[in-house]
A and B are shown apart, each in its own frame.
Chain A
Amino acid sequence: MPSLPWRPGSRTLLLLLLGGLMLAVGAMEPRFFTGTNLLNVLRQSSIIGIISLGMTVVILTGGIDLSVGSILALSVLFAASAAKAGVAAPLAWCCALAGGAGLGWCNGFGIARLRLPPFIVTLGMMGFARGLALLYTGGAPLTGFGALFRFPGTGRFGGVPVPVLLFALAFLAVFVLLERCPWGERVRSVGSNSVAAWGSGIDVPGTVAKAYVLSGTLAALAGLVLVGRLDSAQPSAGLGYEFGAIAGVVLGGTSFSGGQGTLAGTIVGVLIMGVLENGMNLLNVNPFSEQVVKGVVIAAALVAYGSLGRRSRAAG
């Protein structure tokens, strides 16, 4: 057994999984490899993808954000009701982003300043934001928006769907924050050992709080893509999205215990889920089997990780 360093090994494995999955679906359904379908997969993955970028940072700090789906719904309602009241679309978008950032800040305050467990704080926010969204709308969706307001979801720029561009831009922005800024380094050190981070003079609460603000803001951005695509701001929007985002992050090799993981891995993880869902629809897989297939793929990836990790640690 040649000694494989842990990181490149896992990334290769992940890419092999994605490539293998694509080849398998493509072999069974040739239409998978058409340009329109590949763009379609990217466009569909962009919503969970944007959310999962923020989720990666949160999980890197050793936390979790269960409230992303609810924050998405509530912040989109801010934008939707502003747009309905006649506010210009770009300003309405800013309402959503500010709303997402604000709700994320509340999460950060509870976790970093009040030292409450992230699971509990974001679970509380999950119920709170969803409840407000339902109260505000009375359960009925707001529908019928202008073309400009829907641009983040339906627009095209140089032939590329805007959701895909936003996903790419969000990736670049978070990548720079995480890999090229001192804050990114602090996130990793807080996540791997917060006591040591305290000792070395890092502002732990400030670092952690910003991760939740980022996560909330990105959830709101994903919401703008969603409302554009649906032409409908629903109080039930984004229900269960936290699971998709967490699955993508963990599939991408980020450790739940914090400190270890990459954004690129998350992207591949999200794409694996996207290809899987697209492939099952293309192949008309029985609805009852769909969930089984998804579960098996995730479990298989994690088992493969586990054994690879043990081997490389043993070899190292």
Chain B
Amino acid sequence: MFRKLLAVFVVVLLTALPAAAAEKTLSLVISTLNNPFFVSLKQGAEGAAGTAGVKLVVLDAQDDSAKMTAAMEDLIQKKVDAILVNPTDSDAVTPSILKANEAGIPVFTIDRGASGGKVVCHIASDNEAGGKMAGEFLAKTLEEKGNVVELVGIPGTSAARDRGKGFNDAVAAFPGIKIVAAQAADFSRDKGLKVFENILQAQPDIAGVFAHNDEMILGAIAAAEAAGRKGIVFVGFDAVNDAVAAVKDGKLAATVAQQPALMGAMGVEKAVAFLGGEALPEFIPVPLQLVVKE
């Protein structure tokens, strides 16, 4: 009797488990797979789906808002359990999100947000945490003392605001570190060069520089090289190819990188948690990573 029961139990378990797991179908609509950043994002999402035991359908919009809209409509027809979307355009995605809202399908945005419709939560990089990371790295590399310069992005943009706030908050914790100049160089390499040339004239003693993006820091490095000023520690943001090469050459001490794979994985994990009844905040920040010379 006991054996029979056990056998039935095992059979039920074996058939029921995969059935229970395959119950949930998530879908990921991605702006383009013609960019390594989004390929990593997709791989991260697929990995997390495998771990969580849910089905994940990935659709590539090929940077075309019409294709994205069509994909969203198909998914609404199929009545998937949740839609994760990395929109091609924040405005163009809004009508599709409204349709998903009507159909009662929860929507999550990844990396790029939506300007309308009801979204459960937005999952993207945390620029403020990245700025803080850069500030702490710079302070520690300088042994917690010295004059530093901040090259600011286009004043008023969210990236400049958040990265700047994180950096300033981090540096404020080190009394030996003084920000002697904070000037706008508008995220561009030639303005970074020009503005840092000027700052070099005014400040005879500069130990470190943080720029809100890599383009500006690469301009600043060119300025320091031309002026023959050595021993300055440079920290950038974004990990673009030129900057990663500069880190390898030892010209750039560090640059802050986004983690697309983690972003994709967190998207799936949060969607699964939401379907399991968990309440989520409107914005979920994805941690960043410091790229330094190995």
Q: Which A positions have Cβ atoms within 8 angstroms of B?
A: 29, 31-32, 34, 36-37, 40, 44, 140-141, 143, 154, 226, 229-232, 234, 236-237, 239, 277-278, 280-285, 287-288, 290-291
Q: Which of B181, B188, B202 sits near A236, CB closer than 8 Å?
A: B188
The 5 closest A-B pairs by CB, nearest first: A281-B198, A287-B184, A282-B202, A37-B201, A287-B155
**B198 and A278 contact, CB distance less than 8 A:** yes
Q: Which residues of chain B have C-beta atoms less than 8 A from A34's C-beta?
A: 201
**B188 and A239 contact, CB distance less than 8 A:** yes
Q: Which residues of chain A have C-beta atoms less than 8 A from B180's C-beta?
A: 284
For chain B residues 257-285, which have a beta carbon within 8 Å of chain A?
none
Q: Which residues of chain A have C-beta atoms less than 8 A from B45's C-beta?
A: none
| 13 extra interface residue pairs, beta carbon distance < 8 Å, beyond A154-B226, A283-B202 | A29-B202, A140-B241, A143-B242, A229-B190, A230-B222, A231-B222, A277-B194, A281-B181, A282-B198, A282-B199, A284-B180, A288-B156, A290-B184
Q: Which residues of chain A have C-beta atoms less than 8 A from B222's C-beta?
A: 229-231
B193 near A: Cβ within 8 Å?
yes
0/1 per residue, B181-196, Cβ < 8 Å to A? 1111000111001110
**B193 and A287 contact, CB distance less than 8 A:** no
**B242 and A281 contact, CB distance less than 8 A:** no
**A288 and B155 contact, CB distance less than 8 A:** yes
**A36 and B218 contact, CB distance less than 8 A:** no
Q: List 19 A-B contacts (CB under 8 A).
A: A40-B201, A44-B194, A44-B197, A140-B241, A141-B242, A154-B226, A226-B190, A229-B190, A229-B193, A229-B222, A230-B190, A230-B222, A231-B222, A239-B188, A281-B183, A281-B198, A282-B202, A287-B182, A290-B184
Name the residue on B nearest A38 (C-beta). B201
B219 near A: Cβ within 8 Å?
yes
B51 to chain A, nearest CB (A): 35
Name the residue on A nearest B223 (C-beta). A229
**A287 and B189 contact, CB distance less than 8 A:** no
Q: Which residues of chain A have C-beta atoms less than 8 A from B181's C-beta?
A: 281, 284
Using A40-B197, A40-B198 as known contacts, say yes or no to A229 and B184 having CB atoms under 8 A apart: no
Name the residue on B nearest A239 (C-beta). B188
Q: Bound complex: CA of A88 vs CA of B139, how far in Å?
A: 45
Q: Bound complex: CA of A282 vs CA of B194, how far in Å?
A: 12
B252 to chain A, nearest CB (A): 13
A302 to chain B, nearest CB (A): 24
B152 near A: Cβ within 8 Å?
yes
Q: Bound complex: CA of A36 vs CA of B201, how far in Å?
A: 8
0/1 per residue, B233-249, Cβ < 8 Å to A? 00000000110000000
B122 to chain A, nearest CB (A): 26
Total A-B contacts with CB atoms under 8 angstroms apart: 67
Q: Bound complex: CA of A281 vs CA of B183, how far in Å?
A: 7
Q: Which of B155, B226, B241 sits near A229, CB closer than 8 Å?
A: B226
Name the residue on B nearest A161 (C-beta). B226
Q: Which of B156, B182, B189 has the most CB of A within 10 A?
A: B189
Q: Which residues of chain B have C-beta atoms less than 8 A from A284's C-beta?
A: 180-183, 202
Q: Bound complex: CA of A32 vs CA of B152, how far in Å?
A: 22
Name the residue on A nearest B194 (C-beta). A44
B234 to chain A, nearest CB (A): 15
**A232 and B189 contact, CB distance less than 8 A:** yes
A102 to chain B, nearest CB (A): 24
Q: Which residues of chain B have C-beta atoms less than 8 A from A280's C-beta?
A: 183
Q: Which residues of chain B have C-beta atoms less than 8 A from A32's C-beta?
A: 201
Q: Which residues of chain B have C-beta atoms less than 8 A from A282's C-beta?
A: 198-199, 201-202
Name the residue on A nearest B241 (C-beta). A140
Name the residue on B nearest A281 (C-beta). B198
**A287 and B197 contact, CB distance less than 8 A:** no
Q: Which residues of chain A have C-beta atoms less than 8 A from B241's C-beta?
A: 140
B246 to chain A, nearest CB (A): 10
**B155 and A230 contact, CB distance less than 8 A:** no
Q: Which of B182, B190, B194, B197 sits near A237, CB closer than 8 Å?
A: B190
Name the residue on A nearest B192 (C-beta). A230
Q: Bound complex: CA of A225 vs CA of B226, how far in Å?
A: 14
Q: Bound complex: CA of A112 vs CA of B141, how far in Å?
A: 60
B214 to chain A, nearest CB (A): 11
Q: Bound complex: CA of A278 vs CA of B222, how far in Å?
A: 18
Q: Bound complex: CA of A78 vs CA of B252, how far in Å?
A: 29
Name the residue on B nearest A45 (C-beta). B194
Q: Which residues of chain B have C-beta atoms less than 8 A from A229's C-beta?
A: 190, 193, 222, 226
Q: Which residues of chain A have C-beta atoms less than 8 A from B188's C-beta?
A: 236, 239
**B202 and A277 contact, CB distance less than 8 A:** no
**A232 and B242 contact, CB distance less than 8 A:** yes
**A232 and B226 contact, CB distance less than 8 A:** no
A158 to chain B, nearest CB (A): 18
**B202 and A31 contact, CB distance less than 8 A:** yes
Name the residue on A nearest B242 (C-beta). A143
